[in-house]
Structure 1
Amino acid sequence: MKHFKTIILIVLVVIITFLSFSIYQIENERRILKEDLIELSKVKYGLFNIDEWKKILATIITKKVDELNFTNENRKQMKEKISSFLYKIIDDFEARYNKEKSRTLKGMFERSFTSFFGAFNTIRKDVPQFTDQIIAFLNDKQNRKAVRGYIIEKLNEYADNTFDKIDYTTVNTILARHQYTTRDEAITGLVSRIDDLDLRSKPYKISILIIALTAIVWVFISKAFSKSQYVLLILISLLLLVTGLLLPMIEIDARISSMSFTLLGETISFKDQVLYYKSKSILEVVSLMLLQSRIDVLIVGVLVLIFSVLFPVLKQMASVLFVYNNHARTSKIVRFMVFKTGKWSMADVMVIAIFMSYIGFSGIITEQLKQIQSMTNSLEILTTNKSSLLTGFFFFTAFAIFSLSISQKIDLQFNTSKV
């Protein structure tokens, strides 16, 4: 039975090593694709991108100009609008002309001459003819094309002179790396590839979860383990710890799922506009904190490093020493590391903090976006919080529980007294 346990544990170590390595490889590949996908989906390339707005407005202008078709039903109405507009222009011009010419004697003479011969009245009589010519001009397809081109040209000129240009260097690099031609094509392709990776990793994750839970239960119900078996158990916990430290624990992804409104009678919509995204592992968070110049952030980074990395590793090393060395069992330092550091590892605090961030972040983003939506009834915003707990979180949690169960079993088997 003793050797059977050892063989089972060796098999578990091999299986968990294989599963952990496979998951780590897949998750790294997924992470690269996800970061590229997030970059392409950022709001600066969509809702806040002047080039996108130029395309949208150009499409609307093209449609509106092409829709100009003066039939018998709307010709009279359009003719009245154009005539009214021309009359107003003539009236305004006449008023400015008379005001300008009233300043000098020569100007007053010219104004009297113009009034005597009724120059402006003559122009007004020709308004119906001008109106027919304008309508005929707009009905011509070639002229419509020229008008459309002129409007779009002026629109682009205004936009270029008013707004900053978007730097597409990163986008072009991503497109070249994944061999896509357009941003929309790249987004669709990357989403599909990420989904495929999720399907590939799912059996591995389920398997390792079942194995970890089974091992924890086995440790609790078993009467005793040999020294070599404890080493194998500790090795399993280390595998879970290392994987948990290397893989991201939480993914904070806030975005506008759908935003639509009406412009010039046309519906404009933007989808999946990323507002904020972060995904970090414990080691990456520690690294970032330690590189900060602020002393408070540096202190937090050191504490996270001590309680979430150094203590767990030292605890496993001390456990091996405790099992193999009778003298070490009387050492207060070793006993503290084996039986007390679990209470100092802050695993429970970290789990609670991650859950609070995960749950609370959704509410914050949703409430802020609701304020934007409430500003106008014509704006429809559907927000989404795609934040999720990642594989690293579950590996680290499994390690914390498994490590505590091993310590408890060592305490019971070797009949230790509390410090």
Structure 2
Amino acid sequence: MSQIESVIVVGASAAGVSCVRELRQEGFLGSITLVDKDQHGAYERPPLSKQILMQADTTHHDIALISDEELTALNIEAHYGDGVCELDPTRRRITLESGKALTADVILLATGGEARRLPIEGADLPQVLVLRHYEDALNLRQRLTADTRVAVIGGGFIGAETTASLSKSGAAVQWLDAAALPMAHLLPTELCEKIVANHCAQGVALTPHCRLDKFIEQPDGSVSILFEDTTSIEVDVIVMGVGMAPSTPYLSEAVSAELLNPATGGIQVNDNQVTKFSGIYAAGDVAAVTQADGSTLRHEHWQSAQHQGERAAAAILNKEPPAAPVDWFWSDQGDLHIEMAGKILPTKEHLVVRLEGDWPVYFSVVDNRVVGAVSVNNPNAVRAAMRMIKNNVNVEPSQLANPELPLRKLMRG
């Protein structure tokens, strides 16, 4: 490709904003256009289940990823509230819902994901909500009173965060999960049990092994949740937190066949965020990235999205990509701040428990090398683990488990 003079970023997401910032920081002087269907533009998603839901005076301006002032300072043209309805990857052209067509030398697709809805009868009732956009959080917040009965469906982090926030607001919360224990597919079982017990102590009623049948609206506006075993509960609001799917409605069937990874539904890219079409890149939740072993992985974490945006900018400018950081993730659930780094292995023989304070720290260790860690209300422990992972520090599991040995000393190996 000849010299790049124009870039369009589709999606004012963490990946999209990261890319436009990096382009300017690296000296790109050409035109940059940022497009997003959301009229509120670029904002953080994690606060939707916390600050926006809980604090009536908090708005999208308070959680902005990039302000209007910064957009002006960086000379970035923003098109908010006018989403992309079609992509022509060979011509590097997008068509907006308003009918306007835009072309550029490079297009980055950073459209993130959309909340999934369970395919059951009644899932489209107005009382059945998801929590992915600012308007979703406002809709839920406006429905809450001191005696609102809410059912949260889903045992992942979004379900747990929403459950904790709603319980703190005074709502009567029923937490429904198809699994035996929420978050058990993400964290060590013993830690999950303690976290869930903490939520239940705050008044949350957990129903595990939940098999939903359908939702039925009642004359008074409430909803009956019917289970496959013929039992039921009555609630005022249902929140689905059952995962996310890549957002690619702007791809035609023919383009989807060329771009999408069938296993993940994400846009297939290499490790520099490049698709099979020249000048078309993808980053963030929507991207399915080819790994060193040939497998494909789609990340759904803020840090990963930010890093992929930076890698895309480097690839666009034909510069050395930034080094990959240690994977890191956090989840705020009421008074619990959970942090996780690296990879938590499911096998107990690789698990080292450090009894430190009110909450144990869990390390995954392979051949005396830390490969993952998770903590609650102890971020310093995870930061220490990240240093060990990055520097490939040799450490004895017995030393990790000993709270008398400061982690800062173990970081040195």
Q: How would you bin the TM-score normalised by the shorter chain?
A: under 0.3
More strand by share: 2
TM-score normalized by structure 1?
Answer: 0.19
Whose Rg is larger?
A: 1
Higher normalized contact order (CA 8 Å, seq sep 6+, divided by chain length): 1
